[in-house]
C-alpha cells in the first residue's frame, strides 16, 4: 500500500532523514520507532506532503506521491495526525471533525447553505467512536491535552483515509486514555484501516504492531516483525543504554 | 443532542434581532432630519465595507491590509462607466462590484502565494500601485481632483431616497455575507485562520480557498464603493488610499472581529466619532488613538466580543462532563 524508498531530506546541510525505507501492506499496523531526533516526524512530514523530499520515492497505492502538496495527498486516501496538537482551537469539537468531513466531501465551495446542518451523522459517528460525543459542543482550545490528542485522531478519521498515519498518538495521555486509544486503534484496524504510527511507548508498539521499522539518525536500521526487531543487535546498539524494547 | 457549549446558546428571539434593527432603521427614515439620514447612510456604507473586510480578516485570518482598494475601484468603476462610457446607472451599478471582484482575483492570484505578514505587505504594495494610477492619470480618472457630479437616478438623489436604497442593498449584502460566513466555505475559512497546515492535511486547497475569499470580499467592498457614490455623488483617490484601509481594520477590531455584526458596530462608532469630534477639532484621530489604546488594553476582543464573552483560552466555564 505504501512503499518508501531511499527517502532523504536535509535542513541547512543536516540530514534529518537520509535513506529511509519503509513498507506498509494493506491491513497492517506498522510502527516506526527510534530515539529522539531519529527523523520519525520528518519522515511522516515527507510522506504526507508537509515537506518536499530532496530524494527518494514515496509510492502510495502504485503512485509516486513524493513532493505532492498535502491536500492532494489527503485526497488520495492518506490522513495523518500530529505529535504536537494541530486542531482548530476556536471551533468546537464537533466543528473540528465536521470540517474534515466537509473537506473530504469537497463541499468547501458551498456558499449558500449553513454548515451547521451538513455532515452531522457522519461527524457524530466519528465522535462516538472515539468517545468525544459528550464534549462535542466545547471549544476545542479549552479541552485537556489528552482530549485534544483524541480529537487529533478524530479529525484524521474525518478524512476517511485508507492509510492513517499517527505521530505519537498517546504522547501526554493518561494511562486510561492510552488504553482507550489502543483499543480504538485495534478496532479501526479490525474494520480494515491500515495504520502507520510512531510511538515511544514500547508496550503499545509491541502490543499492536504487526511489523516495526527502526530508525536511527535518519536511516532505516531494520523493518521486521516484533520478534525480529527485538532480537536484532543493531537495534540494541541504536538504543544504546536505553531500556531494551519491552 | 443538547451538548454543552462554551459560548452561550443564543435564544430564539436573537435570530430576529437583525430584523428588528432593520425595521427600526426603515422607520427612522421617516422622521430623521436630512443630516442624520446622510450620516446613517455613511454608517451603513462603512459597515458593509468593514463586514466585507472581516470575512477575510476575522473569519479567514488573512492580513488584509489594503481592503480599501476594492472599495475605491468599485466606486471609480461606477463613476467612470456612467461619466466616460455613458452607461445607464443600473448597468454600471451591476458591473462595478464585478470590476472590484476581478481586481481582487488578479491581486489575489499574486498575493495568496504568500502567507501572513508577507501577504499583507504585498497587498499594500499592489494596492498602492492601483492608487498611484488613479491619482496620476488625470485625463481618465481626474487625478487628485476625482470625479464630481456622478449621475445618480433621480429617485436616489434625495437624502431619503439614497438612505433607503443604501439600507436595502446593505441589508441584502449583509444577509448574503452572513450566509457565506456560516456556510461550509466560511467554516473552512475559519479553520484556515486557526490552522492552515491542518486544513491542507485534511484535503483543503488553502490558497484556492483564500483566493475565493478574496473575490467574495472584494465584490462586497465594491458594492460598498458604489453605495458611497450613490450617497456622495463623487469619487476621489482617498477612497483607495491605504489610510482608509487602516481605518476599516480599526472598525473590525473595535467592534469585535470574531463576531459577525462587530464590524458594523465598529463602523458606526468610528463614523460618529469622526463626524462629531471632527466638528470641534481637526485632530479627531487623536481621540481615535486614545480610544484604540483603551480598546487594546481593556477590550481585546472588541465591543461585541466582550458582550458575547467567548473564551478563547484554556479554562472554559462549562462543566467537565467525562
Q: Which of A86-100, B244-258, B279-293 has the lowest mean pLDDT?
A: B279-293
Calculate the alpha carbon distances from B152 to B39, B164, B289 in Å: 19, 14, 36
Q: Are strands A55-60 and A63-64 parallel, antiparallel or unpaired?
A: antiparallel
> What is the residue whose three cell numbers read 492608487?
B131
Q: What pLDDT is attached to residue A197?
A: 96
The CA-to-CA distance between both ends of chain A, in Å, stands at 28
Share of chain B above pLDDT 70, in %: 91
The CA-to-CA distance between both ends of chain B, in Å, stands at 16
The one-character DSSP state at A91 is: S
| Strand (E) or helix (H) holding A186 | helix A175-190
**Gap from B47 CA to chain A (nearest CA, Å):** 21
- Whether residue B29 contacts residue B227, with contact meaning beta carbons closer than 8 Å, is answered with no
For residue B29, is pLDDT > 60? Answer: yes
Q: Which of B9-23, B106-120, B248-262 has the lowest mean pLDDT?
A: B9-23
Higher model confidence: residue B215 or residue B305? Answer: B215
For residue B4, is pLDDT > 60? Answer: no
Q: What pLDDT is attached to residue B315?
A: 37
* Nearest Cα residue to B230 out of B41, B31, B25: B41
Question: Quick check: A44 contacting B, CB < 8 Å?
Answer: no
What's phi and psi for B158, nearest 5 deg?
-75, 160
Round to whole Å and give the CA distance between A235 and A244.
9
Q: What pLDDT is attached to residue B19?
A: 87
- Whether residue A105 contacts residue A90, with contact meaning beta carbons closer than 8 Å, is answered with no
Mean pLDDT of the B12-33 span: 84
Mean pLDDT of the B250-266 span: 91
CB contacts, 8 Å: A114 with chain B: 179, 182-183
B282: confidence class by pLDDT, cuts 50, 70, 90: confident
CA A135, chain centre distance (Å): 23
Question: Quick check: A139 contacting B, CB < 8 Å?
Answer: yes
Q: Which of B218-227, B228-237, B248-257, B307-316 has the lowest mean pLDDT?
A: B307-316
Region at A131 (left for phi over 0; alpha for psi -120 to 50; beta for the rest): left
Q: What pLDDT is attached to residue A156?
A: 96
- Whether residue A99 contacts residue A158, with contact meaning beta carbons closer than 8 Å, is answered with yes
Looking at chain A, which residue has its C-alpha nearest residue B191?
A: A88
* Average pLDDT of every residue of chain B: 88
Round to whole Å and give the CA distance between A115 and B188.
9
Q: Helices marked H in A105-140 — which ranges?
A: 120-130
What is the CATH topology of the domain spanning A1-77+163-170+194-246? Rossmann fold (3.40.50)
- Whether residue A210 contacts residue A194, with contact meaning beta carbons closer than 8 Å, is answered with no
Share of chain B above pLDDT 90, in %: 65
DSSP states along B13-80: GGGGHHHHHHHHHHHHHHHS-HHHHHHHHHHHHHHHHHHHHHIIIIIT------THHHHHHHHHHHHH
Per residue in B122-174, pLDDT tens?
999 999 999 999 999 998 998 888 999 998 888 888 888 999 999 999 999 99
Mean pLDDT of the A231-240 span: 78
B66: confidence class by pLDDT, cuts 50, 70, 90: very high
CB contacts, 8 Å: B190 with chain A: 88, 90-91
Higher model confidence: residue A99 or residue B282? Answer: A99
Question: Quick check: A194 contacting B, CB < 8 Å?
Answer: no
* Average pLDDT of every residue of chain A: 92
The one-character DSSP state at A143 is: S
Q: Are strands A2-11 and A14-24 parallel, antiparallel or unpaired?
A: antiparallel
For residue A161, is pLDDT > 50? Answer: yes
Question: Quick check: B10 contacting A, CB < 8 Å?
Answer: no
Higher model confidence: residue B294 or residue B187? Answer: B187
For residue A226, is pLDDT > 50? Answer: yes
Tell me how crowded residue B271 is: count the other CB atoms within 10 A of its CB: 21
- Whether residue B235 contacts residue B243, with contact meaning beta carbons closer than 8 Å, is answered with no
* Nearest Cα residue to B71 out of B62, B79, B63: B79
Q: What pLDDT is attached to residue A135?
A: 95
- Whether residue B104 contacts residue B218, with contact meaning beta carbons closer than 8 Å, is answered with yes
Mean pLDDT of the A188-210 span: 93
Q: What pLDDT is attached to residue B9?
A: 57
Q: What pLDDT is attached to residue B10?
A: 63
- Whether residue B151 contacts residue B79, with contact meaning beta carbons closer than 8 Å, is answered with no
* Mean pLDDT comparison of B18-32, B88-102, B287-301, highest-scoring range: B88-102
Tell me how far apart the 2 most distant CA atoms of chain B are, in Å.
71
**Gap from B139 CA to chain A (nearest CA, Å):** 41
Q: How open is the CA angle B238-B98-B226, to the nearest 5 degrees?
A: 45
Share of chain A above pLDDT 90, in %: 80
Looking at chain B, which residue has its C-alpha nearest residue A143?
A: B314
Mean pLDDT of the B198-217 span: 97
* Nearest Cα residue to B81 out of B107, B53, B106, B100: B100
Q: What pLDDT is attached to residue B184?
A: 96
User: What is residue A160's three-state secondary structure?
Assistant: coil
Query: What would the grid cell of residue B263 be?
Result: 464590524
B177: confidence class by pLDDT, cuts 50, 70, 90: very high
CB contacts, 8 Å: A159 with chain B: 202-203
Mean pLDDT of the A3-26 span: 93
- Inter-helix orientation angle B262-280/B284-298, to 10°: 140
Mean pLDDT of the B176-182 span: 94
pTM for the predicted model, two decimal places: 0.89
Q: Helices marked H in chain B — which ranges?
A: 17-31, 34-54, 68-83, 89-111, 116-136, 138-141, 159-182, 184-194, 196-201, 206-232, 242-255, 262-280, 284-298, 302-308
Give B137: exposed, middle or buried? Use CB within 10 Å, 0-12, 13-18, 19+. Answer: exposed
For residue B320, is pLDDT > 60? Answer: no
Which residue ranges make up each domain of chain A? 1-77+163-170+194-246, 82-160
Which residue ranges make up each domain of chain B? 15-241
For residue A13, is pLDDT > 70? Answer: yes
- Whether residue B178 contacts residue B52, with contact meaning beta carbons closer than 8 Å, is answered with no
Q: What is the CA radius of gyration of chain A?
A: 18
- Contacts of residue B309, Cβ cutoff 8 Å, sequence gap at least 6: B7
Mean pLDDT of the B226-233 span: 95
Q: What pLDDT is attached to residue B162?
A: 92
The partner residue sitting opposite B179, judged by closest CB among A70, A112, A155, is: A112
Cβ contact B198–A86 (<8 Å): yes
For residue A165, is pLDDT > 60? Answer: yes
Query: What would the grid cell of residue B215 be?
Result: 473575490
Amino acid at each position: 500500500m505504501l512503499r518508501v524508498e531511499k527517502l532523504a531530506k536535509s535542513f541547512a546541510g543536516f540530514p534529518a532523514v537520509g535513506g529511509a525505507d519503509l513498507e506498509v501492506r494493506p491491513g497492517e499496523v506498522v510502527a516506526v520507532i527510534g530515539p529522539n531526533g531519529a527523523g520519525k516526524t520528518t519522515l511522516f512530514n515527507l510522506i504526507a506532503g508537509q515537506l518536499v523530499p530532496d530524494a527518494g520515492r514515496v509510492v502510495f497505492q502504485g503512485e509516486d506521491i513524493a513532493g505532492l502538496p498535502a491536500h492532494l495527498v489527503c485526497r488520495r486516501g492518506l490522513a495523518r495526525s500530529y505529535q504536537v496538537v494541530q486542531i482548530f482551537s476556536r471551533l468546537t469539537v464537533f466543528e473540528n471533525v465536521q470540517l474534515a468531513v466537509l473537506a473530504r466531501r469537497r463541499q468547501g465551495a458551498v456558499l449558500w447553505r449553513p454548515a451547521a446542518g451538513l455532515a452531522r451523522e457522519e461527524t457524530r459517528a466519528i465522535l462516538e467512536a472515539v468517545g468525544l460525543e459528550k464534549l462535542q459542543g466545547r471549544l476545542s482550545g479549552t479541552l485537556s491535552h489528552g482530549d485534544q490528542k483524541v480529537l487529533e485522531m478524530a479529525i484524521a478519521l474525518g478524512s476517511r483515509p485508507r492509510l492513517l498515519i499517527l505521530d505519537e498518538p498517546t504522547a501526554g495521555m493518561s494511562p486510561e486514555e492510552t488504553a482507550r486509544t489502543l483499543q480504538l486503534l485495534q478496532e479501526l484496524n479490525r474494520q480494515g484501516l491500515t495504520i502507520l504510527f510512531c510511538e515511544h511507548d514500547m508496550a503499545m508498539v509491541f502490543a499492536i504492531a504487526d511489523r516495526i521499522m527502526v530508525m536511527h539518525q535518519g536511516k532505516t536500521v531494520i523493518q521486521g516483525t516484533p520478534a525480529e526487531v527485538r532480537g536484532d543487535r543493531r537495534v540494541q546498539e541504536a538504543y544504546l543504554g536505553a531500556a531494551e524494547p519491552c | 443532542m443538547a451538548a454543552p457549549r462554551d459560548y452561550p446558546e443564543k435564544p430564539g428571539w436573537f435570530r430576529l434581532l437583525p430584523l428588528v434593527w432593520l425595521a427600526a432603521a426603515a422607520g427612522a427614515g421617516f422622521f430623521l432630519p436630512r443630516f442624520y439620514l446622510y450620516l446613517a447612510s455613511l454608517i451603513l456604507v462603512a459597515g458593509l465595507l468593514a463586514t466585507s473586510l472581516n470575512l477575510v480578516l476575522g473569519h479567514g485570518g488573512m492580513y488584509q491590509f489594503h481592503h480599501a482598494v476594492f472599495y475605491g475601484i468599485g466606486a471609480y468603476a461606477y463613476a467612470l462607466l456612467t461619466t466616460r462610457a455613458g452607461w445607464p446607472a443600473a448597468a454600471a451599478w451591476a458591473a462595478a462590484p464585478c470590476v472590484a471582484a476581478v481586481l481582487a482575483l488578479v491581486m489575489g492570484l499574486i498575493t495568496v502565494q504568500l502567507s501572513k505578514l508577507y501577504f499583507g505587505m504585498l497587498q499594500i504594495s499592489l494596492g498602492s500601485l492601483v492608487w498611484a494610477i488613479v491619482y496620476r492619470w488625470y485625463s481618465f480618472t481626474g487625478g487628485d481632483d476625482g470625479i464630481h457630479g456622478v449621475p445618480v437616478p433621480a429617485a436616489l438623489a434625495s437624502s431619503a431616497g439614497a438612505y433607503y436604497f443604501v439600507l436595502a442593498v446593505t441589508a441584502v449584502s449583509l444577509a448574503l455575507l452572513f450566509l457565506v460566513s456560516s456556510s461550509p466555505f466560511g467554516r473552512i475559512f475559519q479553520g484556515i485562520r486557526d490552522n492552515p497546515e491542518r486544513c491542507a492535511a485534511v484535503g483543503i486547497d488553502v490558497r484556492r480557498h483564500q483566493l475565493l475569499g478574496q473575490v467574495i470580499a472584494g465584490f462586497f467592498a465594491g458594492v460598498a464603493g458604489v453605495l458611497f457614490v450613490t450617497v456622495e455623488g463623487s469619487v476621489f483617490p482617498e477612497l483607495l488610499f491605504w489610510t482608509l484601509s487602516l481605518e476599516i481594520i480599526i472598525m473590525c477590531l473595535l467592534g469585535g472581529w470574531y463576531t459577525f455584526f462587530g464590524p458594523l458596530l465598529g463602523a458606526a462608532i468610528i463614523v460618529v466619532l469622526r463626524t462629531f469630534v471632527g466638528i470641534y477639532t481637526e485632530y479627531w484621530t487623536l481621540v481615535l488613538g486614545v480610544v484604540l489604546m483603551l480598546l487594546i488594553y481593556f477590550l481585546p476582543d472588541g465591543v461585541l466580543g466582550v458582550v458575547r464573552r467567548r473564551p478563547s483560552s484554556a479554562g472554559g466555564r462549562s462543566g467537565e462532563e467525562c
